[in-house]
A and B are shown apart, each in its own frame.
Chain A
Amino acid sequence: QVQLKETGPGLVQPTQTLSITCTVSGFSLTSYYMQWVRQTPGKGLEWMGFIRSGGSTEYNSEFKSRLSISRDTSKNQVFLKMNSLKTEDTGVYYCAREGPLGADYVMDAWGQGASVTVSS
């Protein structure tokens, strides 16, 4: 069955770089867009960016200057890297699959989330 699982550092110091890995099973990364969404106390659910099935990326302008999404299809993994972290970046980071449903493309499967605290 379709599964997604995020792994991350838990605690990151301000100004440092966050790295989270999303490992998927039950489907191919070359057939689906993979999204990153975060949930913070201050802003709730926020779309961060995605990597297309073909490997190109698109980012929310709010994060564009400090966010990078990449993947390793041989390992079924998608990666999020975000630099210059601030305390406001504390929250839960989710990867989600965007799948075709009818004529729409919707986030139809989510990982359990990686909790990140930005603190010194």
Chain B
Amino acid sequence: DIQMTQSPSLLSASVGDRVTLNCKASQNIYKNLAWYQQKLGEAPKLLIYNANSLQTGIPSRFSGSGSGTDFTLTISSLQPEDVATYFCQQYYSGYTFGAGTKLELK
């Protein structure tokens, strides 16, 4: 089974900061990676698929990069409404989620 490891588990940042979240796969998954945002009490929401493709309706401050085993989600200028937990998911072989990065305001 493919394991997904996210870092850091908790990130504190200020409004306007550039924020980077990391995700590492235990084997090559090419670009078969999605990022989801989950706010408290809500379902996960798709942000990015194919490692770097922005889902329709998602603000352009969100971007994804990477391929193979190492991936990054970047928020170019953090907004208060971005406080959430972010999950990566591989869909190359079955489906596996990372444990998440909780993003909070400093």
Contacts and interface: CB of A to CB of B under 8 A. Distances in A.
B5 interface: no
Interface in A39-66: 44-47, 60
B46 interface: yes
B91 interface: yes
B91 A106 contact: yes
A108 B44 contact: no
B32 to A, nearest CB: 7
Interface residues of A, number: 21
B94 A47 contact: yes
Interface in B81-106: 87, 89, 91, 94-97, 99-100
B45 interface: yes
Interface stretch (A9-17, A24-32, A78-86, A109-117): A109-117
Interface stretch (B10-18, B47-55, B63-71, B72-80): B47-55
Contacts of B44: 45, 94, 107, 110
Contacts, number: 52
B34 interface: yes
Given A106-B49, A113-B43, A60 B32 contact: no
A107 B34 contact: yes
A60 B100 contact: no
A111 B45 CA distance: 10
A110 B43 contact: yes
Nearest to A108: B46
Nearest to A46: B97
Contacts of B87: 45
**Most chain B beta-carbon neighbours within 10 Å: one of A46, A102, A103, A107:** A107
29 contacts: A37-B95, A44-B97, A44-B100, A45-B44, A45-B89, A46-B97, A47-B94, A47-B95, A47-B96, A60-B94, A94-B44, A101-B49, A101-B53, A102-B49, A102-B50, A103-B50, A104-B32, A104-B49, A104-B91, A106-B34, A106-B91, A107-B34, A107-B89, A107-B95, A108-B46, A110-B44, A111-B43, A112-B42, A112-B43
